[in-house]
């Protein structure tokens, strides 16, 4: 049920954002601990969504990525690889998601892979501006609400998130505590879409 609610809300935000370049409305961020069966969740995503595959240096990363590449192609989903740009190129992913510390790589990646969808994490207005200046296609701002992620900082809240969206030129996704219960607070935020981890498993 939660996935359906989030997918509908993401589609509404995406349409209302008036994007110059088409972007997936919904991003599913995998996590080895919180989403141990990402393929099962991917199969439930609406076509046009994106999977951000985060493998964190797993020994079988190439095998996992190849399997997810085949599945996402079959389902009409985009596949972004988290952080590992070499792996993204090797398995012919649709792009990459860069941690905030790697935003600086975006211009060179754009030159090497002009067709890639490049997103970047941003946890502050300053990082959001760095992502915009670096030419990333979109930024993923977090945490918007209290999150289950052990690494999440203090939540921004819907009001501050919306202010950040309004203050930048780059399309922005909301991540962190975005659930069927909280997503209504983002209705008029100007976000390009939604991103979630375990909320999509419900």
Question: If pLDDT is split at 50, 70 and 90, which confidence band does 201 have?
Answer: confident
Three-class DSSP category at 15? helix
pLDDT in tens, 98-135: 999 999 999 999 999 999 999 999 999 999 999 999 99
Question: If pLDDT is split at 50, 70 and 90, which confidence band does 153 have?
Answer: confident
Three-class DSSP category at 26? strand
Mean pLDDT of 92-100: 98
Mean pLDDT of 60-66: 97
Range in 48-57, 113-122, 141-150 with the lowest mean pLDDT: 141-150
Tell me what pLDDT residue 150 has: 61
146 has a pLDDT exceeding 80: yes
Tell me what pLDDT residue 202 has: 77
Using alpha carbons, select from 169, 165, 155, 167 the residue that is nearest to residue 193: 165
Burial of 101 (0-12, 13-18, 19+ CB in 10 A): exposed
The structure's pTM equals 0.96
139 has a pLDDT exceeding 90: yes
Question: If pLDDT is split at 50, 70 and 90, which confidence band does 12 have?
Answer: very high
The Cα–Cα gap between 44 and 27 comes to: 13
Tell me what pLDDT residue 152 has: 61
Using alpha carbons, select from 162, 169, 111 the residue that is nearest to residue 141: 162
Radius of gyration of the chain from Cα atoms?
A: 15
Tell me what pLDDT residue 90 has: 97
Tell me what pLDDT residue 83 has: 97
Give the helix, strand, coil percentages of the chain, each rounded to 5: 40, 15, 45
Contacts of 44 (CB under 8 A, 6+ apart): 3, 200
Three-class DSSP category at 196? strand
The Cα–Cα gap between 45 and 77 comes to: 8
CB of 118 closer than 8 Å to CB of 95? yes
32 has a pLDDT exceeding 90: yes
Tell me what pLDDT residue 49 has: 99
Mean pLDDT of 188-193: 98
Reported as type and span, the H/E element at residue 98 is strand 95-98
Residue with tokens 């409305």: 25
């Amino acid at each position: 049920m939660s996935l359906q609610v989030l997918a509908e809300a993401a589609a509404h935000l995406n349409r209302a954002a008036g994007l110059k370049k088409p972007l997936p409305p919904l991003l599913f961020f995998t996590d080895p601990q919180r989403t141990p069966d990402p393929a099962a969740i991917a199969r439930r995503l609406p076509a046009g969504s994106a999977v951000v595959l985060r493998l964190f240096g797993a020994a079988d990363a190439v095998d996992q990525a190849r399997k997810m590449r085949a599945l996402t192609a079959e389902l009409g989903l985009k596949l972004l690889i988290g952080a590992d740009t070499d792996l993204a190129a090797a398995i012919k992913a649709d792009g990459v998601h860069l941690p905030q510390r790697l935003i600086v790589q975006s211009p060179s990646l754009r030159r090497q892979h002009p067709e890639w969808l490049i997103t970047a994490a941003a946890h502050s207005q300053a990082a959001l501006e760095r992502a915009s200046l670096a030419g990333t296609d979109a930024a993923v701002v977090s945490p918007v609400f209290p999150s289950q992620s052990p690494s999440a900082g203090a939540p921004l809240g819907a009001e501050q998130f919306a202010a950040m969206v309004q203050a930048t030129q780059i399309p922005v996704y909301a991540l962190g505590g975005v659930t069927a219960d909280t997503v209504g607070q983002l209705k008029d935020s100007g976000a390009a879409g939604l991103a979630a981890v375990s909320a999509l498993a419900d």
